[in-house]
Structure 1
Amino acid sequence: MESSTSERVELPAAFEDAPIDHLVHLIADMLDRLMAHNDQIPLLPESLTRFHSRSAPSITVLDYLKRIVKFTNVEKSCLLITLHYIDQICARMPLFTLTSLTCHRFIIASITVSSKGLCDAFCTNNLYAKVGGISVTELNILEREFLSMIDWRLTCTRELLQEYYVNLVRTNSTGRYVIVGGQSPKSASPESDVEMESGLSRPPSPTDVRHPRRPRPSVHETSTILIEPVPITQEQLTRRPTIEQNMAFAALRESQEPTDKGKRG
């Protein structure tokens, strides 16, 4: 049997220098663990969103990300900022959870939005939809919903993406990955926007400006995806669902009944 040392994968200090296939594995590992946790949470009618599918897609998150990378040539910053978007939405909408029913649609919507907002070159929605396995009409709806959920806050600092990268390596379930080398000099510019990788030059938005005397909390303190999720309050659990939510919930349950009966048989 091979030793753990021989299986070790050494990664560069800066996420920009990391091979994209390793980034894909790191992100997929984290998302798989997050989904495994959230899939145990009972699905509430008021928790339903446009990102919920009737059943979990057969393709794994890892293969889904590989497919996106292969056919859309997505940039590394767009992959990593998906994690920041998850944190944004979980903070703004505590009832939203990334599960096996929502993850794939969330990913393709995130890649579509971030590529358009941060990159010089990006694909058409027709291609993103085809790669994502959904209709272009559905992707258009998801894109608008996604932008509303993140309040159109498309950017973050390069420093924050670097923190996500470091934490992905630190928390990876296989323990195979390790960052080698000294601290990258690129990280010395904490206020540089993520557009740096795509070559865009744009003044920071008001949401990027921080108080000079107030240090920004680390990912360990603010992230809802690399630490335990924020608990749902009793008030949120007892909030009455709308008629539309109840109907959607009933339709989802009805679509799952044949599968449940087959398992019981």
Structure 2
Amino acid sequence: MGTLAINTEGVDSDIYLALGLKELGKGPIGTPRILSLLSSLLEKSVQKNEMQSETTNMKDNVAIFHGLRAPTISIQQYIDRIFKYAGCSPSCFLVAYIYVDRFVQQTDVHLTSLNVHRLLITSVMIAAKFIDDACFNNAYYARVGGVSTAELNRLEMKFLFSLDFRLQVNVNTFQRYCSQLQKESLEGHQIERPIRACGIKESWPNKSDTQCAPTIAR
């Protein structure tokens, strides 16, 4: 699948290839490096937050994403599963990561093993709707993510309203996240706070420049 909202021609080609964001052509299908890198960063963030929660009273400000127990599937396995069955472009995972970063900054949510899986399936689905030429509906993503369609509908609406439906990712932002992720992988930097692995703060685009996600599937 191609991408509509991001023109990746402006992204440094070496970094783009190193992260595995290039579209796969004919030949053996490989796993984009971006998947293992993002899962590693998310795992570190979750571990850091859960260690801090043992000594401080960290509250989840958006309880709808908070599960009663942690899923048995790891973050890496979950991301691999989404990539395998959702058929979305590798760029969706980086855009989803940007969305989660925005969500964390807007809501001050701390990533934990109880909410990270729901945030992942929701953000990847929204990213696929926004930037890919075609994507599956909510019911299909719900089966892939191991949640009900009704629950995923609620998660999507909460996520979108938390971001004020501002889903546009310009090429400069995409480039910065690519560069920072590549830098993190080379230098092994630790995450300073929930998800903000890239330490990137960006100004919101004008509402006139934004687009809303497609209607929720029923």
Q: TM-score, normalised by structure 1?
A: 0.58
Larger radius of gyration: 1
Q: Does residue 139 of structure 1 match 2:152?
A: yes
**Residue type matched to 2:15 in 1?**
A
Three-state SS of the structure 2 residue aligned to 1:226 is coil
Give the equivalent residue in structure 1 for 2:83. 69
**Residue type matched to 1:40 in 2?**
M
Once the two structures are aligned, what percentage of the paired residues are identical?
28
Matches within 5 A, 1:101-116: 101-116=114-129
Give CA-to-partner distance per residue, 1:146-191, whole Å, 9 cap, x none.
101111011111222222122222212896xxxxxxxxxxxxxxxx
Gaps of 5+ in 1: 1-10, 176-222, 231-265
Matches within 5 A, 1:116-127: 116-127=129-140
Cα distance in 2 for partners of 1:166, 1:50 equals 32
CA contact (8 A) 2:138 2:149 kept: yes
Q: 1:55 aligns with which of 43, 50, 69?
A: 69
Three-state SS of the structure 1 residue aligned to 2:147 is coil
Three-state SS of the structure 2 residue aligned to 1:100 is coil
Cα distance in 2 for partners of 1:227, 1:161 equals 11
Distance verdict in 2 for CA 1:48–1:92, change over 3 Å: closer
Give the equivalent residue in structure 2 for 1:30. 41
**Residue type matched to 1:145 in 2?**
K
Distance verdict in 2 for CA 1:229–1:58, change over 3 Å: farther
Three-state SS of the structure 2 residue aligned to 1:53 is coil
Gaps of 5+ in 2: 1-12, 24-29, 189-193, 202-218
Distance verdict in 2 for CA 1:103–1:154, change over 3 Å: same
CA contact (8 A) 2:142 2:152 kept: yes
CA contact (8 A) 1:125 1:139 kept: yes
Distance verdict in 2 for CA 1:158–1:228, change over 3 Å: closer
CA contact (8 A) 2:50 2:112 kept: yes
Cα distance in 1 for partners of 2:199, 2:72 equals 27
Q: TM-score, normalised by structure 2?
A: 0.70
